[in-house]
Structure 1
Amino acid sequence: MSIGQFCIRDTVIVDKDDTIVEAAKVMRAHHVGSVVVVEEAEGGCKPLGILTDRDLVVEILAEEVAPDAVTVGDVMSFELVTAQEQDGLWETLQRMRAHGVRRIPVVDERGLLVGIISADDYLEILAGELGELARLLAREKGREEQARSA
């Protein structure tokens, strides 16, 4: 299974020149804790970094920096880790773990943004798979009980 099958395609994005306040408002409006920072490219958007609500707290609020004194590009993470659409779920999770990131943009073969996957998304995927496994066990037990009573 490829990461492209599971990533969230409706990715919330901001421009590196946007203000911190604008980015925070976008996060609030979309009920997300992070946005992908992009630049326009031919055929789509190229991811440059990620800005998280934690970045806003640690880099802006805790340091008492005036929000209008910096842009998204000043605060975003610069070491961007991405996954290719065709990368596997396990491979992508290992990359996230190795780099210590909770979310990773997914790009196509041209490096253009197609989605994002987060640790929370992985938990949903795993919970769904575990639920299927539990239903299998219950069905097996029911089938066995029915066979023995006949």
Structure 2
Amino acid sequence: MLVSNICRRDIVTIDAQRTLIEAARMMRDHHVGTLVVTCVDAHGEQVCGIVTDRDLVIDALARTPLELDAEVGDLAYVDLTLIAENASLDQAVTAMQDRGVRRLLVTDSADRLSGIISLDDVMEAFAQQVGGLARIIRNGMDRELAAHPPKDEPLKTRHRPCTPGTSQGVWARVVV
């Protein structure tokens, strides 16, 4: 599975000069835990960091004295980890592990920001895959049970040996 299949495209941005209170309100109003921090330079608006709800709680609220009017840019994490949207989930997990981060900024083929992928997104995708594998096993067990219901006969009389020219079931061809 590719990063592009599960990344979130609803990117909420905040200017680096806005206050921490404004950041918290934006997170609440947009129901997100991460804001992409932007700043304006000679090339226009650029991504210059991210700030998370955890940053606000752990870093901002733990400051003494409390500085809720501090600028988002002062709190933003600026050592960003980017991943291409055509990267695999395995590559995303490796990048998160290597960098010690829970979120990656996703870029398109022109290196423009196109989404965000979080550890939660990756875990949800893997959980769906594991659920699919469990359904395969369950369906196989159900199929076997329907074809060969339990009987009170001794084991050796329940099974016929497979000999040439005898059919033991229906064949299905799957083309991949």
Is the pair's TM-score, using the shorter chain for normalization, greater than 0.5? Answer: yes
More helix by share: 1
Paired letter, 1:71: E
Identity %: 40
Verify the 8 A CA contact 1:83 1:104 in the aligned structure 2: yes
Structure 1 partner of 2:140: 140
The within-5 A match list for 1:103-122 is 103-122=103-122
Structure 1 partner of 2:54: 54
Structure 2 partner of 1:30: 30
Q: Which runs of 4+ in 1 moved over 6 A?
A: none
RMSD between aligned residues: 2.1
| 1:45 Cα deviation from its structure 2 partner | 6.5
Structure number with higher relative contact order (C-alpha < 8 Å, ≥ 6 residues apart): 1
1:73-121: CA deviation from partner (whole Å, max 9, x where unpaired): 1110011111111111101110011111111110123332111111111
Mark the runs of 5 or more structure 2 residues left unpaired by the alignment: 150-168, 170-176
**Structure with the greater alpha carbon radius of gyration:** 2
CA distance in 1, matches of 2:127, 2:15: 34
1:25-81: CA deviation from partner (whole Å, max 9, x where unpaired): 01111222221213479xx9743211012212233221134211x211111001111
Mark the runs of 5 or more structure 1 residues left unpaired by the alignment: none
Which one is further off, 137-146 or 50-59? Answer: 50-59
| 3-state secondary structure, aligned to 2:56 | helix
Q: In the superposition, relative to structure 1, how do residues 110 and 45 fare at CA in structure 2: closer, same or farther (>3 Å)?
A: farther
Paired letter, 1:9: R
| 1:12 Cα deviation from its structure 2 partner | 2.1
1:13 aligns with 2:21: no
CA distance in 2, matches of 1:86, 1:28: 31
CA distance in 2, matches of 1:116, 1:16: 18
The within-5 A match list for 1:67-106 is 67-68=68-69, 70-106=70-106
CA distance in 2, matches of 1:46, 1:5: 25
Q: TM-score scaled by structure 1?
A: 0.87
Which one is further off, 45-54 or 8-17? Answer: 45-54
CA distance in 2, matches of 1:139, 1:58: 47
Verify the 8 A CA contact 1:105 1:115 in the aligned structure 2: yes
| 3-state secondary structure, aligned to 1:32 | coil
CA distance in 2, matches of 1:37, 1:110: 20
